[in-house]
Structure 1
Amino acid sequence: MIDSKIMETTKSILKKFGNTYFSDKGTLKRNKVIEDLDAYTPMLMKALLANQLIHDTYTESIVIDDKSVEVFKLNQFIEMFTYKEYWQDSYTKFENKIGLTAGGKFIDETADVVLDFPFKDTVLKAGMTKEDQKDTDEPFLHETIAKAEIDQLLEPKIFVNATKYDQENLDGVSTDNFDDDNLIIKGNNLITLHSLTKQYNARIKMIYLDPPYNTGKNSFGYNDSFTKSAWLTFMKNRLEVAKQLLRNDGIIYIQIDTSRANSSTIQGSSMEPYLHVLLDSVFGSNNYLGTLHWKKKKQPSFLSRIAGVMEEILVYAKDESNIEKLIGGETSDTTKRVDNNSNPESTMVIGKGIKYAGPEKDLIIKAGSYKNKTMSTTYLNDVVIKNFIVQNDFQATAQFRTSQKEINKFVENRLLYITSAKSLRRFTSKDELGKGKAITDLLLDSGQNQDATLEIKSLFNGDKIFETPKPEKLLQTIINSYTKKNEIVLDFFMGSATTQAVAMKMNRRFIGIEQMDYIKTVSVERLKKVIAGEQGGISKEVNWQGGGSFVYAELMEKNQGYLKDVQHAETTKQLEDVVHRMIEGGADFDFRVDVEKVMQDPEYQAMSLADKKQLMVKVIDKNQLYYAYSDMEDRDVQELMSESDIAFNKSFYGEHDL
């Protein structure tokens, strides 16, 4: 362990005090030792400083008024007793020290004092598995305290097992080339997003996210139980890099539950208001476009005080000034352009080259919101309608919220007509045809949860192999609202791959990221069925006949593989085998720990299996979960990769030679 020789020497001194510093079972009372050290208990200090090794290691001579004075470095000595508490709390000994600091040092290290909150700019890796959160006690990596660790954690990573799927290769074929195809990646989404920045920076048109709602339920294997602050940090880290990947005219949609969480959990309430504030911070409140309300179920659940049937989708732009109109479904038949000469009795058309057959002076129209108001003169071909006289006995509409300039343009383009009721209308222009009508904030006809469940069951022989899918109709509405063919849609909480399946059927490009192992059994398998031409979801509506392709790749595991093996160990023997493999295989551990000595420590040996696993998870260096792309310069790393893997990475990162 840390400074084991000094620790052994110290323990031998402490044992002389009988049961003062040791329990009946022989366990060191660390808190008692620290308490007495802080109090400079005379007998304890005298005994410690009498030992030559401790004296030489922890004292320093300084000169005051020409006199040499020995100073005991108490803080450094106490650190030796806090290292196990360190494993319970964080990567760094500063995890719980939010308080008074000066120059990056806490008050016990300096006389200058300021108030400091060291996690305001932190990074939270936050693995998606519930074991990640339960067993690792996720560390915060602060920009100042652990800047080097953050840089290391987020640098581009190596991809392995790159496989291309298309109609000719439904079972997949290994590929050594990345030609900007659709992309599915298995790995931690924060780390993966940073690996995409070189290839996809400012290229994504739309991001759709259905993140963990933080319900506290830990459903379907993934972690869904954070404190509010941890969840917000978790989201903030990912949203910041997501914004970087968006085009300047890009949009992000984030879906969130509005129901109150189970009161027995620490969450207690929906994360929606917190998320809204966070998005204002990351994207800017001026880039908030609105909130969509989606009806997720036909029948409400009465398990909570207010039975909820809605979820919200927050919509933000990267830069609102670059955003085009958001549209909804197909263009309504009542607004499509018609033949100007059709049905002249009910529709009198005004347009270039067509004589106006209406009143010569005044035109009575329906526009009750402008009662008793005279509109400006409008020129319709060679006929002048001097005034639109709005009378009281007509129903209110909003026909004249269009400027004179726009009305003149409609006339020039032969888009205006007058109904038999003498109400002014206009046709849809060619540019507007196919774009659809404006999206509304209430999505009632965009599928529901039960539709999504049926879609999954129909794809997988009646089995509900994924618990919380979204319906294809909902994703069709969202993707159709702001993307065109071949534009890229990103979803880094991919789940069952609904976003990617719909994007493929709508001829959009896509990127999906998922850490959970079901990416292979659910997500990839679903997309293979889409390529083969499955007819569920929106397939018939869009006349989907199959086709398309995508590349699947995985981040190359380093400590991540060992981490999973430790978590899945079911006996002490299995755990010991994993730890020995880590030692022999060169796994990266925190530099403060000698793992071999940890295993020999009687305190460790007396631990339960669960506690041993927890400790081993904590000593694994989390900054080394995956191999960095720069590691490919190491021949030992290249020996772990196939030639195809090496070539694919060079192709993906645009490098020809390392």
Structure 2
Amino acid sequence: MQKLELTWIGKGDEPVVEPRILLHDASKDYGDPAADNMLIHGDNLLALKALEQEFAGQVKCIYIDPPYNTGSAFEYYDDNLEHSLWLNLMRPRLIILRNLLSEDGCIWISIDDTEQAYLKVICDEIFGRNNFVQTISNQSTPNGRDYGSFAQTHDFIHIFSKNIRQLKMNKMANDDINKYNKEDEEGAYYLHPLFNSNSNFHKGNRPNLYYPFYVSKKQNNEGYYDLSLIPTEDCVELYPPLSQTDGTQFVWRWGKEKATQYLNKEIVGQLMRNGEFRIAQKMRVKDKIPRTIWVETEFSNRRGTEESQALFAKKKFPYPKPEPLIERILTLGSNPGDLVLDSFLGSGTTSAVAHKMGRRYIGIELGEHCYTHCLPRLKAVVDGEQGGISKTQNWQGGGGFKFYELAPTLIVKDAHGQPIINNKYNAQMLVAAIAKLNGYDYAPDADVFWKQGKSQAGSFIFVTTEYLTAAQLDNISRYLPEYERLLICTPAFDIGLGKRYENINIRKIPQSVLDKCAYGADNYNLNIVNPPELDEDEWEDGEDA
């Protein structure tokens, strides 16, 4: 069946990525040892693949700020190949990111004009067009950059859901609180006329919304005038007014049933200065739906650069996103305790903001700045640094994180070009790696030595570097119930053992894992490790007036 899709050079030829194991480097952990936040140093495609089996369906909110493909990152390639390389960079990562999202999760992707249209199309393909949420225009450079045909002032944030039917996006706190100038036992409010001032709704097409209220002439204890839907003694009959513009007969916004329910509670009679009565609704404070154009100055690149300078002095990071921008995204897309992920962590902004907002997080960064920026920044957050959103979040410090490195590739070539197991792997690493390659979770049983991992289907795996004999297999079988299954991975075994027991499968290593993935690649970053340095002229162009 044919379908509409975007094609490019190399699409569909992506390598099968090796699912590496993660090596915990406890010497770089910081803060609360019970914290499960993760900072991972390594290629983000390899790291995402390492996370996929354990964290599939668990991440509530993903934010990424990938390379924008401005040309500087691909200076040695022609334009057509450049676009293909960028798309090949993004597609396999987006596929895994989608797998990591929870069913009610969402992903936010910052991008500029160069690739935003292509990105939208491949996200439509991977996430489904029906799962597109919105594209935000963020005013990242308020004054623009004075070159080219237009002074570019904004970039974009594409938002997609895993399942639009289950997505529940949060709303924003109401920042116009000053107009709620009255208060009762239910809280703050302001008064707003109950009639509908939209001329498209009138007595002719909404007759059920055209009826009278009866307003008492006596003021009540609240300072208003009691309402009734039936005539009472010494009252004033009041219908919706006529439009002063075109004479349209307005109607109420509420029908009689709702009006009866909230009579003299949420709708009241109000005496105006001109001596006339009106029906007014108490408009309560409520959160608002976010707009699609964000022009807040605290979301600008300059704000992010200022934060970076305060944190790192001369080691400032080029074009970092400001903490308030990530705060807005995590406010809308997640709740306290949810898991947040950023696989292009940069200087560590997303993890720092998630930490301050009480979210759990996983941050992945390949470059040296994982050590020079991300690690010291998150340590400072744990210690209670007061930059960025610390004051608005009342951040005082606390929590912690664990640090991980990617394990080296499992399979290497010997002097004769033959595949062998990497000698950098100890026994524990080997078991964990072979288990992961076969779809098992590494979970050694404390009592049964040959139960080293377990699959979701309930079967077990045993990995050994020793020769497996018939006697050893028979001994294992005595303690394996018929309803359980066991996979044994070994370099060699007695002839005929492969069919000795129906519920035990035996495979040779490394032969049995050679075709599972591509080994030997330490990164898939297309040489985009170090982002372009911040140009002083561009800094001046981006300054606020």
Give me the whole-angstrom Cα distance separating, in 2, the residues matched to 1:443 and 1:364. Answer: 31
Q: 1:519 to 1:341 in 2, by over 3 A?
A: closer
- The offset of 1:515, in angstroms, is 1.1
SS of equivalent to 2:318: coil
Give me the whole-angstrom Cα distance separating, in 2, the residues matched to 1:180 and 1:537. Answer: 22
- The partner residue of 1:428 within 278, 284, 306 is 284
Contact 2:124 2:132 in 1 (8 A): yes
Match of 1:215 in 2: 70
Is the strand fraction higher in 1 or 2?
2
- The partner residue of 1:312 within 141, 156, 174 is 156
User: Which amino acid is 2:25 matched to?
Assistant: N
SS of equivalent to 1:227: helix
Stretch of structure 1 that moved more, 327-336 or 247-256: 327-336
Match of 2:208 in 1: 376
Match of 2:145 in 1: 301
User: Which amino acid is 1:467 matched to?
Assistant: P
Q: 1:502 to 1:400 in 2, by over 3 A?
A: farther
Number of residue-to-residue matches in the alignment: 403
SS of equivalent to 1:320: coil
User: Which amino acid is 2:84 matched to?
Assistant: S
- The offset of 1:194, in angstroms, is 1.9
- The partner residue of 1:495 within 339, 342, 346 is 346
User: Which amino acid is 1:384 matched to?
Assistant: L
Q: 1:276 to 1:543 in 2, by over 3 A?
A: same
User: Which amino acid is 2:352 matched to?
Assistant: A
Contact 2:228 2:263 in 1 (8 A): no
**Gaps (5+ residues) in structure 1?**
1-115, 124-140, 142-149, 169-174, 259-269, 350-362, 560-585, 596-619, 625-630, 647-651
SS of equivalent to 1:542: coil
Superposed, 1:210-289 pairs within 5 Å as 210-218=65-73, 227-258=82-113, 270-289=114-133
Give me the whole-angstrom Cα distance separating, in 2, the residues matched to 1:420 and 1:645. Answer: 77
Give me the whole-angstrom Cα distance separating, in 1, the residues matched to 2:28 and 2:239. Answer: 64
Match of 1:411 in 2: 262
SS of equivalent to 2:155: strand
Contact 2:39 2:362 in 1 (8 A): yes
1:116-135 deviation line (CA, Å, top 9, x unaligned): 99954332xxxxxxxxxxxx
Q: 1:232 to 1:425 in 2, by over 3 A?
A: farther
Q: Find out whether 1:588 has 2:447 as its counterpart.
A: no
1:541-587 deviation line (CA, Å, top 9, x unaligned): 2211111211110101249xxxxxxxxxxxxxxxxxxxxxxxxxx94
Give me the whole-angstrom Cα distance separating, in 2, the residues matched to 1:546 and 1:509. Answer: 15
Return the structure number with greater relative CO, CA threshold 8 A, min gap 6: 2
Contact 2:35 2:401 in 1 (8 A): no
Contact 1:329 1:477 in 2 (8 A): no
1:282-302 deviation line (CA, Å, top 9, x unaligned): 111111111111111232112
1:315-357 deviation line (CA, Å, top 9, x unaligned): 111111112244234453157695337999x9779xxxxxxxx
1:60-101 deviation line (CA, Å, top 9, x unaligned): xxxxxxxxxxxxxxxxxxxxxxxxxxxxxxxxxxxxxxxxxx
Superposed, 1:93-108 pairs within 5 Å as none
Q: 1:411 to 1:190 in 2, by over 3 A?
A: farther
User: Which amino acid is 2:197 matched to?
Assistant: A
Match of 1:637 in 2: 425
SS of equivalent to 1:533: coil
SS of equivalent to 1:249: strand
- The partner residue of 1:323 within 147, 151, 167 is 167
- The partner residue of 1:154 within 8, 18, 31 is 18
Q: Find out whether 1:540 has 2:372 as its counterpart.
A: no
Q: 1:117 to 1:327 in 2, by over 3 A?
A: closer
SS of equivalent to 1:368: coil
Give me the whole-angstrom Cα distance separating, in 2, the residues matched to 1:406 and 1:202. Answer: 44
Q: Find out whether 1:457 has 2:309 as its counterpart.
A: yes
Q: 1:333 to 1:348 in 2, by over 3 A?
A: closer
Q: 1:415 to 1:303 in 2, by over 3 A?
A: same
Give me the whole-angstrom Cα distance separating, in 1, the residues matched to 2:431 and 2:105. Answer: 37
- The offset of 1:384, in angstroms, is 2.3
Give me the whole-angstrom Cα distance separating, in 2, the residues matched to 1:654 and 1:303. Answer: 55
SS of equivalent to 2:184: coil
- The partner residue of 1:367 within 173, 189, 197 is 197
User: Which amino acid is 1:298 matched to?
Assistant: P
Match of 2:323 in 1: 472
Give me the whole-angstrom Cα distance separating, in 1, the residues matched to 2:36 and 2:346. Answer: 20
Give me the whole-angstrom Cα distance separating, in 2, the residues matched to 1:327 and 1:202. Answer: 23
SS of equivalent to 2:171: coil
- The offset of 1:394, in angstroms, is 6.8
Give me the whole-angstrom Cα distance separating, in 1, the residues matched to 2:194 and 2:190. Answer: 15
SS of equivalent to 2:377: helix
Is the helix fraction higher in 1 or 2?
1
- The offset of 1:521, in angstroms, is 0.9
1:239-264 deviation line (CA, Å, top 9, x unaligned): 11111111111111111012xxxxxx
Stretch of structure 1 that moved more, 405-414 or 225-234: 405-414
Alpha-carbon RMSD across the aligned residues, in angstroms, is 4.5
- The partner residue of 1:333 within 177, 183, 189 is 177
- The offset of 1:639, in angstroms, is 6.5
Q: Find out whether 1:205 has 2:60 as its counterpart.
A: yes
Q: Find out whether 1:183 has 2:38 as its counterpart.
A: yes
SS of equivalent to 1:207: strand
TM-score normalised to the size of structure 1? 0.53
| Percent of pairs with identical residues | 28
SS of equivalent to 1:389: coil
Give me the whole-angstrom Cα distance separating, in 1, the residues matched to 2:376 and 2:315. Answer: 14
Give me the whole-angstrom Cα distance separating, in 2, the residues matched to 1:513 and 1:405. Answer: 57
Q: 1:364 to 1:189 in 2, by over 3 A?
A: closer
Q: 1:324 to 1:342 in 2, by over 3 A?
A: closer
Stretch of structure 1 that moved more, 302-311 or 334-343: 334-343
Contact 1:489 1:511 in 2 (8 A): yes
1:404-435 deviation line (CA, Å, top 9, x unaligned): 59956983995445666646444437xx5xxx
Give me the whole-angstrom Cα distance separating, in 2, the residues matched to 1:640 and 1:315. Answer: 40
- The offset of 1:225, in angstroms, is 11
Give me the whole-angstrom Cα distance separating, in 1, the residues matched to 2:186 and 2:427. Answer: 75
Give me the whole-angstrom Cα distance separating, in 1, the residues matched to 2:39 and 2:261. Answer: 46
SS of equivalent to 2:150: coil
Contact 1:159 1:554 in 2 (8 A): yes
User: Which amino acid is 1:519 matched to?
Assistant: C
Q: 1:489 to 1:404 in 2, by over 3 A?
A: farther
